[in-house]
Amino acid sequence: MILKFFKTPGLKTGQLKNKLHKVLQIEASVTSLETELCYYVETESLEEDEVQVLKWILSPLLEGECLRCDSMFSDTQNHVIEIGPRLNFSTAFSTNVVSICKTVKLNKVKRVEVAIRYCIKHKRRLNEKIENAIINVLGDRMTEYRYMKPIETFDHGFRPEKWFEVDIIKKGRSALEEVNFKLGLAFDDWDLDFYTELFLKKLKRNPTSVECFDLAQSNSEHSRHWFFKGRIILNGKEEKQSLIDMIMDTQNYSNSNNVIKFSDNSSAIEGFEIPVLRPINTYKCSNFHLENIKQHLIFTAETHNFPTGVAPFSGATTGTGGRLRDIQGIGRAGYYIAGTAGYSVGNLCIPVSWSDARIRLSLNVNISLNIASTAKWYKTVLFPLIQSMSPLCFTKRGMKVAKIGGPVYRIGVGGGSASSMEVQGDNSMELDFGAVQRGDPEMEQKLNRVVRACAEMGDSNPILSIHDQGAGGNGNVLKELVEPAGAVIFTKNFDLGDPSVSTLELWGAEYQESNAILCKSEDSVLLKKIAAREKCPINFVGIVTGNGKIIVSEEENWDISKYLNYEDKNLDSSKHPVNLELEVILGKMPRKVFKLHDMSVQKFPINLPDGLTVLSVLDRVLRLPSVASKRYLTNKVDRCVTGLVAQQQCVGPLHTPLADVAVTAISHFSTKGIATSIGEQPIKGLVNDAAGARMTVAEALSNLVFAQISVLQDVKCSGNWMWPAKLPGEGSALYKACSAMCSLMKELGIAIDGGKDSLSMAARINEDIVKAPGTLVISCYAPCPDICQVITPDLKAPIIGRQGCLLFIDLSYGKSRLGGTALSQVYCQLGNDVPDIEDVQTFKNAFIATQQLIADKKVLAGHDISDGGLITCLLEMCFAGISGINVNITHKPDSAIDVLFCEELGWVLEVDEKYQDEAVKMLQCYGVPVFLIGKSVGLGMNSEVVVKVRNEIVLSTTVIDSMSIWEETSYQLERRQTNVTCALEEFSQLRERTVPAYRLDFDPARSRPILKDIAERVKVAVIREEGINGDREMVASLLEAGFDVWDVTMQDLLENQIILEVFRGVIFPGGFSFADVCGSAKGWAASFLFHSSLREQLRRFVARENTFSLGVCNGCQLMSILGWIGDEDTKDGERSGICLDHNLSERFECRWATVRIENSPSIMLKDMQNSVLGVWVAHGEGRFTFREEVLKTLEQNNCVAIRYTDDYGNPTERYPMNPNGSVNGIAGICSKNGRHLAMMPHPERCTQMWQWPWKPAEWNYEASPWQRLFDNAYTWCQE
């Protein structure tokens, strides 16, 4: 049966305004738009008390009985349009709600979906065309559709399609051609001939439809990299090296520090031996300790252009999740810390002066924002880890094959074969729908927990081999796993998320959040224990046979022995959907031959309008998305989670998104780490493919130079190629670009160790072919001996009251080429002469010399010259440091516009005046061209920016006037993704912003606790529910304070593995329990409140006077529901009258906020009152809301412990200083007795000074002030 519950409103205020704006653009007669949610619940018959529990889960707190059984909209009186998810598979929302229901024993609930009902009021009748247009803007047609009537069943009527034989024996190649078209296999003529001959002459049988699909995926461009490995005939002459040969040859010219290279999933370089946090036991609750382990550094790269083009948001989740699983799937398992993301989009169609209004590309602003919403970080860092390498075991007969992660869905079918198409769009719409993805971050998190738990067992790791599931689904991943021994796979052993999934789909679907592992038979029980503790599904789906075959069996009951007896001749006579020799599928195949030709393209020199001024050009350039502020990207994703981030993308006192390089630690107890940076120059490559490739490498290194690394020769790179390589002229361009890149890397002494190619970067739109610019992205990474040695772009001399000198390292040798630059783009031109590297040795020397200056602590700030040229580089340094400059460039003869806007290789350093001569001398000793071009002067938004060229003033402005232009594009994008009022408030306040006035009223120096024997230490439990991701940094902070810290899951408590009675403190860390469906921490709270034994344990724990608790972020939200803060007499959130609601911005916020610690009874904040400190915040529902009388009582009892402040240290409700809009600036609340503290900011991510993205220059403290919070708790326990 289907139960229906309705709730009003269905959208938040800002979202509703956004939808109404889109509707009005279609039909101006619409007068209003109202919304309601409809929850569709598939369930068996529920008792009344069960219905009440379900309603509690689905209802917002403090709103009482807000769910109705009937709609408030009358379809007969109003124009009602209902938009909901397509019903062909369960949404991630449903998966997580059902998970909550199972936790509270509502096992009758099978599926929960939510639709939005729109009531449209209008002055005139809406015809069918208008109505369809409105439907298209109200929902995403690839993942949602209109419900013409209320849903009565989730049975979509699909039935599993039977596999069939492809009759090659009778029909020959034509049979294969038919199935090629029907299933969208993308076989070319070579493939069709090869497979026809294979089955006719060698195997002498018909293939099945599943085998054909399998071959299409296994031997697709995505899997085989035919182009990169193929024979290249360029302009009639065969080249000596293939593309992959050229790339791999770079390894011979750099240091041999790769531990893994050119592996299927990830690469790795040698890391460091360091103390690492480890649980004593990973399959049950246990305490933590430190182990000295050698940690190697993993890097991977991912592109997901095709599914992202089909459905941007869900497609981008594929890329994000696939990147994470590539890390998990290395060796015997790896684990990750952070990630990078970059975006290439068409015209965004936002109001800018130079935009061509005639251009309306499909990749518009909404698509780019959807893609960006899935990303973890923008141009930051992917620093996963593996511990000291354990030897891989060869696949042996009798080993078990298991799948861990989510169930099988009809998702991403045919993604591998799509990579073999020359042009996307040549397949059917039905196949495009098959490529739509479904991301479930919660399942990914559970999967990662299992993988990490196994990896942290060291030599006892039960995983013998692991591979991530990607394109080609089980058909690819399971064959890779068991090669060359072979295996039998049983379809009945898979969990199906949709019973209508066919065998072909089970074998070929690219459903997400799934890995495949090999294990010994005796380790299966251990793996089940680990998976059960993390609530992650695990299926043992097959066994290694040793016969060299991959067999897929649909048998209900099977005899393993007949498959292990590979001499059994009767096996071949069995009818199986797949029964192939692995050598046939994965063995060495003849190389394909690619005949490439240059294509002549006429190029024109840059022709700028007469009378241009630097200011008028700047007004355009600073608005170009590649140049403009990326604030709209950086603030909506978590940049501090793990507590290992030493340098993310925001810098300076206002946290401006301008960092060149990203750095993370690899342990909370070490300052050793890893640095990475990104280079990409696709527009320059359109003019000169070789120069574009060289400048891509140069950009990556001129970004990396600002983090001190081991040595240049340790730098390794991942190369991502996104190119329409099979279209005329493009393959030749790619080959030349690759050759140029490899030659440069050899001279520099760096190397490629992995990457990815996407060679179908063209789409058919109507009758036209639209191709993407050939793009090479270089992501380089290297070991960091000291993560504290990082230079950021923000000018620092004015803030510390010193005179700063600006040194221009100019590697252009007098050139000022404008081709392919930001300037050329904003005047709708490309040019015919692009920037290039003039002298490789000088570039290398400049890198080495700058590294030495950083090591000697002679550099205050630095920034590379890239998009927008020298003038943009200088202005961005001003924006980040809120400081002015006085500059005079005298060494170049070209015009001011050429000099300032050319993007020639180089960078600018700010050094203290007292070190100027020393810095110049060192650079000159290395033969590096360096020029003193000016000084950093003035502090504040109204500071002057004066730029001269050969003593003539060409620009005289202020920091705020230029910065407002630079921030304009970001603001326009913010308006489309957040509450418009908040977006405007942040943008309009720029002029008022200043350096935050931090204040410290205590000495953070620590007298370290005398650590007792582990049995005598104070025990605290870090309690986590599924989806929590902030527990390890919390453990590190508590361990540093001296506690005996235990890892306790809700599953441990529910199974009575441990009780709260043994702990003095309980800690609820941050994250996204149950993906925050139905409200943050709602599911987590249900786990406590609807289990009487756990509820009683909580009551007894609070009643003990020697206990304390801390809840951060999701934990704070939990404590407010449990009623642990404020009035001690409350028992749950309904009675406490405290609720954490959605941020006023209506989106997730990650900010480096300023807070003031109040005078409160909190034991953890003792002696810290009146201090004003920076702290990380990262949440989507952090706005404290109260019943009126509750807020009054809290304030009277001094229970408000922490408040957000403005730049002057005063409590504020203004956005973005108050990131969520909490009344009275409230950020944290304690109980009346001071033993329980709940706060939305993350002190555990700020307990090391290197975790602070900005601090006053005079704060040279070794210990972070935030560590005092944890030390205070330990001290209180000792009293």
- Could you list the active site residues? 1113, 1242, 1244
Residue with structure tokens 């393959």? 731
Task: Report the alpha-carbon distance of residue 86 to residue 1243 in Å, rounded.
Answer: 42
Task: Report the alpha-carbon distance of residue 405 to residue 412 in Å, rounded.
Answer: 16
Q: Kindly report whether the peptide bond that precedes residue 1211 is cis, defined as omega within 30 degrees of 0.
A: no
Q: Kindly tell me the sign of the dihedral angle through the C-alpha atoms of 140, 146, 151, 153.
A: negative
Task: Report the alpha-carbon distance of residue 733 to residue 501 in Å, rounded.
Answer: 43
Residue of 865, 501, 861 lying closest to 651 (CA atoms): 861
Residue of 629, 679, 619, 628 lying closest to 654 (CA atoms): 629
- Helical axes 473-482 vs 209-218, angle rounded to 10°: 70
What lies within 8 Å, CB to CB, of 909 at 6+ separation is: 806, 807, 809, 850, 853, 859, 861, 862, 919
**Chain centre to alpha carbon of residue 1178:** 14
DSSP 127: P
- Write down how long the chain is: 1279
Task: Report the alpha-carbon distance of residue 373 to residue 439 in Å, rounded.
Answer: 12
What lies within 8 Å, CB to CB, of 299 at 6+ separation is: 266, 267, 268, 269, 382, 383, 384, 676, 716, 718, 753, 754, 779, 781
CA dihedral 184, 185, 188, 193 (to 10 degrees): -130
The DSSP-derived string for 1151-1182 is: EEEEEEE-----GGGTT-TT-EEEEEEEESS-
Residue of 961, 956, 955 lying closest to 941 (CA atoms): 961
CA dihedral 210, 213, 219, 223 (to 10 degrees): -100
Task: Check if the beta carbon of residue 82 is closer than 8 Å to that of residue 38.
Answer: yes
- The token duo for 812 is 């252009």
Task: Report the alpha-carbon distance of residue 6 to residue 20 in Å, rounded.
Answer: 21
Task: Check if the beta carbon of residue 886 is closer than 8 Å to that of residue 938.
Answer: no
Task: Check if the beta carbon of residue 902 is closer than 8 Å to that of residue 657.
Answer: no
- The token duo for 879 is 């924006």
Indicate the SS3 state at residue 456: coil
The DSSP-derived string for 322-368 is: HHHHHHHTSTT--B----------S------TT--TT---SS-HHHH
- The token duo for 389 is 């390498």
Residue of 1143, 1116, 1150 lying closest to 1220 (CA atoms): 1143
| Antiparallel, parallel or unpaired: β 906-912 and 804-810 | antiparallel
- The token duo for 669 is 């107890």
What lies within 8 Å, CB to CB, of 587 at 6+ separation is: none
- The token duo for 46 is 């529920």
At residue 813, φ and ψ (nearest 5 deg) are 55, 45
Q: Kindly report whether the peptide bond that precedes residue 1216 is cis, defined as omega within 30 degrees of 0.
A: yes
What lies within 8 Å, CB to CB, of 1109 at 6+ separation is: 1065, 1066, 1067, 1068, 1101, 1119, 1124, 1235, 1236, 1237
CA 146 to each of CA 75, 115, 143: distance values in angstroms, whole numbers, following the listed order? 14, 9, 11
